[in-house]
Structure formats: C-alpha cells, structure tokens
Structure 1
C-alpha cells in the first residue's frame, strides 16, 4: 500500500506510554480467540461483559512508561494517522454528496489496556469503536496476533481495512444505523438481535470497501497484492471460522459479525461499486440475502 505521502490526521492520540493501573493484561490464549470474535466493533454491552471485574477499578489513574517511541512504534503511529487522514478525506466528500457535514472520529493508540467512555478495555478485545466518545481504539500489536494466531494478514492494506471498518462504525453512528440496532436490544429475542448485529457488522465491512473504492480514486494507494491481504484478514475473522478455532460447534444463531464468506463478499462489493445506496438496502433486504 502506497501510504507514505498521505497527510496525517491531527485527530490521533498516542497513549502507548500510558497504561491503566488496573490489571487488564494477560496472555492471549482462549480469551483472545473469544474476544477477537467481537473485534471490529465491540458493542457497549458486550464490551462491559467482557471487562467484568475491571469496571470497578479506579478510573483516571495511569502509569507512564519512560522513553521515546521505538522506530516500529513511530511507524505505526504515522501509519494509523495517515490512514485516519485518508478516511477523513473520503467521508468528508461522501457526506457532502448527501448534504451533511462529516464529523470525524478520534483515534487512540494504546497498549495493554485503555480507559474509554464505554469502559476500561483490555487489549485482548482487539480494535473497537466506542460510540459514547466517538473514538476508535487500537493496540497496533493486534495485527501481529491477527497474522500469527488467526491466519490473517499484517500487510499495510489489511491493517487499513481494519481501521476503515472501525471508522465505518462511526459512519453508521452518524447516519443513525447504530441506534436503530441498539433500540432492538431489549425488544427482540437474543438470536434475532444477533442477526441485527451481523447486519451492522457486514454494513461496516461494506463501508470499509466503499472507503477503499473512493480512496483509490483520490489517492491511488492500492498496490498489487493489497486487496488479497484484506480478503485474507476478512476471511480469518468470520464467526464460523472463529468458532471452529475455539473448538466449538458451528452455531449460526450466535453469530454477531457474519461468516467469512459474508465478510469478504460485502467488503469486495463496496470496493467494486462504491455505491452508498446499498448501505440503506442492507438494512432492508431479507437476512438470508446478506
């Protein structure tokens, strides 16, 4: 991915030298396999359940690690800020076409754990968007785990897909889709609500593809092999594949993000068409057609 010449966003905060005093670390193991099942968009209720036991820890207290960023950390900061900048340019343009102003999200880089308005999050939850503070949270070391443990790709464009998916959740929040799904939480059975969650996640995958479609037109940043790397990661994080890796039976009624095939399908469709009209249609079509 040709990203080096892109403009960096000013909406990024690097907290990797600041860690919550609460114990939120620990190895990956089964926790990571289960938690990463929610990665790319943890909803507030699932996030609070996942972090049970640390929510009552003192808030606003951090420790600071001394020393400058390593060269690898500095590169990951520049990369994240640049990709965030690309998303801002694309969505500013797309919102203008519908007569709206785009209010970009913030992004926070962290390590081990981070305090958010959705709760105190351990790094094991993976990248997520918190609607309460309209912020994308990312521990860049997650991409190594995505590649080494889940069979995804740590290539630059694959990482950009992950960031664009989280920004897609912000776009959903601004357009009202997130609240539509959240309103169903207490009014429909769990299995039906999970279907709405899948719909929301696949829509965010589609929005990541739309971003790549228009980003390529504006910045010409996609290089040979890039799309394949994103497909590899999308395929690695389908609910069906994650359930198998966790040693569980395939349980479609428990899906919250969609199958590997669905995630790849909607990302590619967004990438190919860039059609924003499909965003609305995804909330109207029968679930079986997703």
Structure 2
C-alpha cells in the first residue's frame, strides 16, 4: 500500500502513556467495532478475559463510568512509524468522506482516533485492547491499541498494511453511519426487538461498515493510487478471518448462523468488495438487501 508521504490527520490522540483525554461520565452506550466479534465468540479462550465482563461492556452494562476531567491527549510522536501510518490512513478517510458528504450537500464531521495501550475509558464505557479496535458513537471516536495489528498477523493470519487500513476504514465506516443517523435507527430497533432481530440488525450494520471501508478504498485509489499488487487480497483475507463462521470454527464450536452479529466470511468479503468496486454509498444499503 502506497501511503508514505500522504497527508496525516491531526485528529489522532495518543493516550498510550495514560495522560490526557476524555472527561465527564461514560454513558454506558454500545461501542461498535471490527474486533467485538472476537471477544463475543472466542475472547475468553484466546485472551483470558472474562467473557461476561466483555459482553457487559459491549451491551452497555455496568452503568456510567467515571473519568477524570483532563485536557486533550497529545498527538503521537513524529518518529513513531505505526502512528504515522494510522494518522495517514485516517487523513485519507477524512479526504474521501468529506468529498462524498459535500457532493451530497452535507457536512462531514471528522472523528477523532485514540491510540491507547491495554485499557481506556470512553463515553461508551471501559474499553480493553482485547476487544480490538472499536468506535464509540457517544464521543465520536475510534479507539485502537496498535498491538491488535500483531494479533491480526500472528494469531489470525491476516497480515499486511492494507488489511490494517481496512480495520481503520471499517471503524470510520461506523462513524459515517452515526453521522447519517443509521446507528440511532438501528439502536431503536435493537431496543424493542428480540435476540434474532437484534443480531440481524447488527450483521447489517457491520456489513455496511465493511462496504463503506471498500468505498474509501475505491476513492482513495482513484485519487491517490494507493493500491499495490496483493493489497486487495490482504483485505479480503482479513475479512475472511473475522467472519462469524470462521471465528466459531476457530474456537472449536459449531457454526450457528442465528448467533452471527458481524456476518459470515463470505458476506464480509462480498460487501467490502462491493464498496471497493462501485465506490457508491447507495450500493452499501445492506438494510434493504433481501439477501446478505
């Protein structure tokens, strides 16, 4: 992936040293992330974290979380190559989505991206590195512990810089959903639906974020020629590794489609490919699709 020398976003906050960031009380809201399915299905076995604790976080349980009132976290150091990569990818998503929103007569509010290590307090509650990257609608921030990229490479068999960029673009996709009011509508359905309906809406939300990640890739490559040979395959491999069916198999469990919350490997690959091929937000309407 050709990213060196491209614009870096100034919306990256570095909380890895534990300073700065946040304020007020966490609202206990639902965080949305590419890695949440890892915890929901195999997190306890792989990472040694109590699944009930994680599920409480993901569903907004546990009540508000107090955080110390502090100023903004500092920007990452200029000599940090991974932070530079993340900042560049975020900047690229800003350029793409700003243009798309402007063409639609709307204003794109850029999200913040927070680098943390181990654990972090957010307006959606406490987050842990083992959850993988996630987006918090309450504070409009993407959170990532960069050690997740090592997990992708060494434990999940999903290496590559474009695979890493796909992860960020997916979380930014959740921010786009929040900006468009999609997240709020899904939460309303979840609040009054049964488990099957809730899971179905969650799958559609996640697959749309995958498709939006593809939309970013389409426009970024069209404008800046970021893709190199093998990049698309890297992202498709990552999408395959984090499909619900693949994770259930990896954990030694039976595949239960009714329990899916993020979509199968085939679905995640196909919707990402749809966005990448068309570059169209309308093509990403997973909520109207009869077949996912």
Q: Map residues 66-77 of structure 1 onto 2, 5 A cutoff.
A: 74-77=80-83
Are 1:126 and 2:128 counterparts?
no
Q: 1:185 aligns to what SS in structure 2?
A: helix
User: Residue 6 of structure 1 aligns with which residue?
Assistant: 6
1:232 to 237, 250, 254: 237
2:109 to 103, 118, 123: 103
* TM-score (norm. length: structure 1): 0.83
User: Residue 34 of structure 1 aligns with which residue?
Assistant: 42
Q: 2:174 aligns to what SS in structure 1?
A: helix
Contact 2:78 2:84 in 1 (8 A): no
Structure 2 distance, partners of 1:183, 1:81, is 33
Contact 2:64 2:125 in 1 (8 A): no
Are 1:262 and 2:271 counterparts?
no
Q: 1:136 aligns to what SS in structure 2?
A: strand
Structure 2 distance, partners of 1:34, 1:257, is 14
User: Residue 146 of structure 1 aligns with which residue?
Assistant: 152
User: Residue 248 of structure 1 aligns with which residue?
Assistant: 253
1:135 to 141, 144, 152: 141
The alpha-carbon deviation at position 271 of structure 1 amounts to 0.5
Structure 2 distance, partners of 1:275, 1:242, is 29
The alpha-carbon deviation at position 151 of structure 1 amounts to 2.0
1:160 to 157, 165, 169: 165
2:57 to 38, 48, 59: 48
* TM-score (norm. length: structure 2): 0.83
Q: 2:239 aligns to what SS in structure 1?
A: helix
Matched pairs, number: 261
The alpha-carbon deviation at position 163 of structure 1 amounts to 0.2
User: Residue 65 of structure 1 aligns with which residue?
Assistant: none
> What CA RMSD, in Å, does the superposition of the two structures yield over aligned residues?
2.6
Choose 256-265 or 188-197, whichever is displaced more. 188-197
Contact 1:51 1:122 in 2 (8 A): no
How far does the alpha carbon of each residue in 1:9-58 deviate from its partner, in whole angstroms, 9 at most, with x for none?
Answer: 111101111179xxxxxxxxx9596349xxxxxxxx956257978x7876
How far does the alpha carbon of each residue in 1:245-288 deviate from its partner, in whole angstroms, 9 at most, with x for none?
Answer: 11211111110000000000011111011122223x321122xx
Structure 2 distance, partners of 1:35, 1:206, is 25
Q: 1:18 aligns to what SS in structure 2?
A: coil
Q: 1:282 aligns to what SS in structure 2?
A: coil
Are 1:285 and 2:289 counterparts?
yes
Are 1:92 and 2:101 counterparts?
no
Contact 2:89 2:165 in 1 (8 A): yes
How far does the alpha carbon of each residue in 1:190-210 deviate from its partner, in whole angstroms, 9 at most, with x for none?
Answer: 111101100010000000000
Are 1:199 and 2:204 counterparts?
yes
Structure 1 distance, partners of 2:281, 2:60, is 35
Unpaired runs of 5+ residues, structure 1, are 21-29, 37-44, 63-67
Unpaired runs of 5+ residues, structure 2, are 21-37, 45-53, 71-75
